[in-house]
């Protein structure tokens, strides 16, 4: 990605974070990026493409890191199931560490993706499936094995709850400051990740034991 494209993507993040997808304006993005509409049309073509490229620019390197961490741990384990908490850490930590570090105090990408995904436009669902296809496949298998293979339904529910938990944290991260009465630092990445990993791990373990016949 060249310098102009990067400036446009960064401006896109700010606009989507403030306005959501529906309220975002190409004209406002051009002002923020210091470019003209022709530059956006040349490099991206449309607001939909801008959104897709914004997500890919941030998420694809994170997904590669997640998969590399998982595969390295699996190779080291010699085929034995990995501890569940370790697997969840591979899903959560690269995402939140990268996004909070890069967006500093405004958490713009977290807000942009959270606010826009909440609009549930068809192309966003397709993008979500495309970006997470490999992650879901590899991590579902690892999680199922770690839980003793509780069955497809429980694993599917579990992965759904993992995704919703992370999306909720991204959408509502600033709310933590209100809930904690300002006592928790929103940039305490390790604290956030440690608590979220513990929460998701316990939730997956609970879901795996649900008796649907009662």
- The pLDDT assigned to 195 comes to 97
36-39 LR contacts (CB < 8 Å, sep 24+): 39/4, 39/8
What is the arithmetic mean of pLDDT over 77-100?
Answer: 93
Confidence of residue 210 (pLDDT cuts 50, 70, 90): very high
Q: Which residue has the tokens 């384990």?
A: 77
The CATH number of the domain holding residue 165 is 1.10.357.10
Which of 111-125, 166-180, 195-209 shows the lowest mean pLDDT across its residues? 111-125
Which of 61-65, 132-136, 170-174 shows the lowest mean pLDDT across its residues? 170-174
What is the span of the domain harbouring residue 63? Answer: 51-207
**Residue 131 forms part of a structural domain:** yes
- The pLDDT assigned to 172 comes to 81
How much of the chain, in percent, has pLDDT values that exceed 70? 95
**Residue 24 forms part of a structural domain:** no
User: Could you give the dihedral angle defined by the CA atoms of residues 66, 192, 167 and 109, in that order, rounded to the nearest 10 degrees?
Assistant: -80
What is the arithmetic mean of pLDDT over 192-202?
Answer: 97
**Residue 8 forms part of a structural domain:** no
- Residue spans of beta strands (DSSP E) within the chain: none
Q: Which residue has the tokens 């192309």?
A: 123
- The pLDDT assigned to 85 comes to 98
Mean pLDDT of the chain: 89
Q: What is the DSSP letter of 83?
A: P
pLDDT at 185 over 70: yes
Q: In angstroms, how far is CA 73 from the centroid of its own chain?
A: 21
Token representation of residue 87: 């697997």
- The pLDDT assigned to 179 comes to 95
- From residue 80, alpha-carbon distances to 92, 118, 156, 207 in Å are 22, 38, 22, 22
Q: In angstroms, how far is CA 26 from the centroid of its own chain?
A: 24
| Cα–Cα distance for residue pair 47/54, rounded to 1 Å | 10
pLDDT digits (tens, 9 = 90+) for 16-46: 888 888 898 999 999 999 998 899 888 998 8
Q: Number of folded domains in the chain? A: 1
**Residue 138 forms part of a structural domain:** yes
**Residue 21 forms part of a structural domain:** no
pLDDT digits (tens, 9 = 90+) for 91-119: 999 998 887 765 545 677 877 877 776 77
């Amino acid at each position: 990605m060249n310098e102009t494209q990067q400036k446009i993507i960064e401006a896109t993040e700010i606009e989507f974070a403030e306005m959501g997808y529906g309220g975002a304006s190409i004209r406002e993005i051009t002002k923020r990026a210091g470019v003209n509409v022709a530059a956006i049309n040349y490099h991206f073509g449309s607001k939909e493409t801008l959104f897709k490229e914004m997500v890919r620019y941030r998420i694809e390197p994170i997904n590669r890191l997640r998969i590399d961490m998982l595969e390295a741990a699996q190779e080291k384990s010699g085929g034995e199931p990995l501890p569940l908490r370790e697997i969840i850490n591979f899903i959560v930590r690269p995402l939140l560490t990268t996004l909070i570090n890069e967006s500093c105090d405004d958490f713009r990408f977290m807000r942009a993706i959270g606010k826009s995904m909440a609009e549930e436009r068809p192309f966003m669902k397709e993008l979500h499936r495309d970006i997470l296809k490999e992650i879901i496949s590899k991590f579902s298998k690892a999680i199922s094995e770690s839980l003793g293979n509780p069955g497809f339904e429980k694993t599917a529910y579990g992965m759904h709850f993992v995704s919703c938990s992370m999306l909720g944290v991204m959408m509502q991260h600033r709310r933590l400051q209100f809930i904690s009465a300002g006592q928790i630092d929103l940039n305490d990445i390790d604290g956030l990740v440690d608590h979220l990993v513990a929460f998701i791990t316990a939730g997956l373990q609970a879901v795996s034991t649900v008796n649907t016949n009662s």
